[in-house]
């Protein structure tokens, strides 16, 4: 009897453990193994050295991290503001929620193409600016020569596309904060900004953790938006992995890229957990 | 200076008038209790004073200042919430200091006021802990300390004791009363617990369906409720109500209770003369009924005991009297049991008379008072 009871939790965990082992742990181990072999299949650091020696290596890593560093704070601020507005439960709130969440339903590539149609030389932005008389001729926004312009455009598109996933996590988090905390803060003299800083943000920590980790990992994997908007004008890390696998036909270096992205994601996750600890004594 | 004046407050939620044209003045330093069943509008009224509800009509004046349009933080009130709303991510010290920090109180003053508030509530040993590390009762003390550290002119309390267990509630009730006496804030205290209201309030406003039914000091409300609802709501057990008819007994007025007997109404109830032949409702408190020996006496009510509940300090009898039941409190250890006949003599001068149609107390002519 006792024995069977001790077995029960393990049996319950088994299906998901199997799933993770087959579909995540195994490919991950294989990918690391690939990265640590040369193309002939013997163990060596050749693939990693090839990746590091690639002239595009620095550009891809810095473009990806630059995008991440720019887009995450913008998304965090926007998502928080949107979540607070929605949590006010004003009239028409659910309509706002749907509007905000709509980009979630659009594929990354489609979203990228939509933004291309906005920023292209004969696109929406130029048309509007011209018809308003602000511009005489269309500006070439997406030129390969202007790196920072491309970065800016991708940041805007990514902010539009992927802010709502953060927002939805934060809305859920906000709704779990009882109103009386905010009311108490209000009665005791806290302004809106003080309420955000002293009550909402600290109590939202668990949700902030999740939202940040999720978004940072996805930002490290940024791909389709960048490809659609920048083409060859700018290269990101996933692009490099793809190029090495498809164009150069070297799975080992592609695996090295994948491994690098994993290591960066892992580091970022640990960093976020360390920066935003949720201490046991602070819990409800 | 910090009198609270509420003028014709109206607050509607969808189709429900939660607060329906309520006016109330709480004097400087007074302890006012808003008492009523859930949904009577007492909490909404309190929240209107705090500014946590936008009222649809009326004015809130605190200390001569019209604060109707001001946000909560500009009203200079302190509030203790039902759930305490003690911030889980701040230490006890920071919780108590919260309001002082918001109003940028200078550091040494802040520390002194936090410490003295904590001492008043006997939680000075907990200042470094977090709320999750202290008991529910201590969290409640933190919430009160946070309020009194503000040295507020106006203190609002929303059922502060309702989440405590019975023993702790009894203890905190007395302690809060002592504390509030000491600091002398004008206090508005919401509760649905009539014992709390009776024991703590200088005055009680009994509310129902968004209106104040009766406003007065606890004893007056207890002894002379304005209607059947108030009499039934205040007191444990609730006031008994018996249907009766006013008769001219030849030797004076009598109130006849069907199948039970009739009471001689002399002195204080003589003003019922105008009601001869009419039905009335007689209200009587359980402790205002004496159990007497049956000597074939006149002016008593005869019934049969249904239940005897020995409660230590007294015995509580449930008696069937004609068609009615009533509760009678007697000295403990009474030698009566269920099914025994019993003879009751209510103290006539303590009776309350109501109109059976409206359930409102009959107006006693001023000359007879």
**What are the tens digits of pLDDT across the range A206-262?**
899 999 999 999 999 888 888 888 877 788 999 888 888 888 888 889 999 999 999
Query: What are all long-range contacts of B160-167, with beta carbons under 8 Å and residues at least 24 apart?
Result: B160/B80, B160/B81, B160/B82, B160/B189, B161/B191, B161/B193, B161/B196, B162/B82, B162/B191, B162/B192, B162/B193, B163/B82, B163/B83, B163/B84, B163/B136, B164/B136, B164/B137, B164/B140
Q: Is the dihedral of CA B216, B220, B221, B225 positive or negative?
A: negative
Of the candidates A95, A219, A246, A250, the residue with the CA atom closest to the CA atom of residue A157: A219
Contacts of A37 (CB under 8 A, 6+ apart): A43, A44, A47, A252
Asked if residue A126 lies in contact with residue A148, where contact means CB atoms within 8 angstroms, the answer is: no
What is the rounded distance in angstroms from the CA atom of residue B56 to the CA atom of residue B12?
Answer: 7
**C-alpha R_g of chain B:** 25
A-chain residue closest to B95, CA distance = A185
Nearest residue, CB atoms, B73 vs list A178, A189, A205:
A189
pLDDT, tens only, B306-355? 999 999 899 999 999 988 999 999 988 888 888 899 999 999 888 999 99
Return the higher-pLDDT residue of A91 and A267: A267
Nearest CA in chain A to B83: A180
Q: What is the spatial distance between Cα A104 and Cα A102, in angstroms, rounded to a whole number?
A: 5
- Which of A190, A180, A189 is CA-nearest to residue B81? A180
CA dihedral over B96, B98, B101, B102, signed as positive or negative: negative
Closest Cβ opposite residue A284 in set B98, B129, B132? B132
Cβ distance of A184 and B79 shorter than 8 Å: yes
Question: How far is Cα A171 from Cα A97, in angstroms, rounded to an integer?
Answer: 10
User: In this predicted model, what pLDDT tens digit does every residue of A8-18 receive, in sequence order?
Assistant: 888 999 999 99
- Nearest by CB to B89, which of A186, A188, A282? A282
Element (H, E) at B214: strand B211-216
Q: Determine the angle formed by the axes of helices A147-175 and A93-101, rounding to 10 degrees.
A: 140
In sequence order, the β-bridge partners of residue B61 are B5, B66
Domain residue extents for chain A: 62-234
Using one digit for the tens of pLDDT, what is the confidence trace for B123-162?
999 999 999 999 988 999 999 999 999 989 899 999 998 8
Q: What is the ipTM, given to two decimal places?
A: 0.83
CA distance A183 to A168: 23
CATH number of A62-234: 1.10.3720.10
Cα(B301)–Cα(B321) distance, rounded to whole angstroms? 8
Separation CA A260–CA A239 (nearest Å): 13
State how far residue A283 is from chain B, nearest Cα, in angstroms: 6
């Amino acid at each position: 009897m006792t024995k069977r009871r001790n077995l029960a939790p393990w049996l319950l965990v088994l299906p998901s453990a199997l799933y993770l082992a087959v579909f995540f742990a195994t490919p991950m181990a294989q990918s690391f193994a690939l990265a640590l072999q040369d193309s002939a299949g013997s163990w060596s650091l050749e693939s990693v050295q090839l990746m590091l020696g690639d002239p595009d290596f620095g550009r891809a890593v810095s473009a990806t991290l630059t995008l991440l560093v720019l887009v995450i704070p913008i998304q965090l601020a926007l998502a928080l503001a949107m979540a607070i507005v929605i949590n006010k439960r004003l009239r028409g709130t659910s309509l706002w929620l749907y509007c905000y969440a709509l980009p979630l339903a659009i594929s990354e590539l489609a979203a990228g193409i939509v933004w291309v149609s906005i920023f292209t030389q004969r696109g929406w932005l130029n048309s509007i600016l011209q018809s308003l008389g602000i511009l005489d001729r269309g500006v070439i926004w997406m030129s390969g020569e202007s790196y920072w312009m491309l970065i800016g455009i991708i940041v805007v598109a990514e902010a539009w596309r992927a802010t709502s996933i953060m927002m939805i996590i934060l809305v859920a988090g906000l709704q779990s904060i009882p109103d009386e905390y905010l009311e108490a803060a209000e009665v005791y003299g806290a302004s809106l900004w003080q309420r955000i800083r002293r009550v909402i943000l600290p109590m939202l920590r668990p949700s902030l953790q999740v939202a940040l980790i999720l978004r940072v990992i996805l930002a490290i994997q940024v791909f389709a938006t960048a490809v659609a908007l920048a083409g060859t004008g700018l290269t990101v890390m996933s692009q490099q992995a793809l190029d090495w696998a498809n164009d150069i036909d070297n799975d080992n270096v592609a695996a090295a890229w994948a491994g690098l992205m994993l290591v960066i994601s892992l580091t970022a996750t640990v960093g976020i957990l360390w920066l935003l600890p949720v201490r046991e004594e602070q819990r409800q | 200076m910090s009198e609270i004046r509420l003028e014709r407050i109206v607050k509607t939620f969808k189709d429900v008038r939660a607060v329906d044209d309520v006016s109330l003045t709480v004097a400087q330093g007074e302890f006012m209790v808003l008492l009523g069943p859930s949904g009577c509008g007492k909490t909404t009224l309190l929240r209107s004073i705090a500014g946590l509800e936008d009222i649809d009509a009326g004015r809130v004046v605190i200390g001569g200042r019209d604060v109707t349009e001001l946000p909560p933080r500009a009203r200079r009130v302190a509030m203790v919430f039902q759930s305490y709303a003690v911030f889980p991510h701040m230490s006890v010290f920071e919780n108590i200091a919260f309001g002082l920090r918001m109003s940028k109180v200078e550091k040494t003053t802040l520390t002194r006021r936090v410490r003295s508030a904590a001492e008043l509530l006997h939680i000075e040993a907990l200042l470094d802990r977090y709320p999750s590390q202290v008991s529910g009762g201590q969290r409640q003390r933190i919430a009160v300390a946070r309020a009194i550290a503000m040295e507020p002119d106006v203190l609002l309390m929303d059922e502060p004791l309702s989440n405590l267990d019975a023993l702790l509630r009894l203890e905190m009730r007395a302690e809060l009363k002592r504390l509030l006496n000491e600091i002398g804030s004008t206090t508005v205290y919401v509760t649905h617990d009539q014992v709390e209201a009776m024991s703590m309030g200088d005055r009680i406003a009994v509310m129902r369906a968004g209106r104040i039914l009766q406003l007065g000091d606890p004893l007056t409300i207890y002894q002379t409720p304005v209607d059947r609802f108030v009499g039934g709501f205040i007191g444990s057990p609730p006031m008994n109500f018996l249907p009766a008819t006013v008769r001219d007994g030849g030797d004076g007025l009598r109130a006849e209770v069907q199948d039970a007997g009739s009471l001689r109404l002399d002195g204080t109830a003589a003003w019922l003369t105008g009601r001869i032949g009419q039905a009335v409702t007689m209200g009587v408190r359980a402790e205002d009924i004496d159990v007497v020996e049956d000597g074939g006496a006149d002016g008593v009510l005869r019934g049969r005991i249904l239940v005897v509940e020995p409660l230590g300090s007294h015995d509580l009898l449930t008696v069937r009297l004609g068609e009615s039941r009533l509760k009678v409190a007697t000295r403990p250890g009474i030698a009566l049991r269920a099914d025994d006949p019993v003879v009751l003599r209510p103290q006539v001068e303590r009776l309350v008379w109501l109109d059976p149609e409206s359930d409102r107390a009959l107006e006693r002519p001023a000359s007879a008072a």
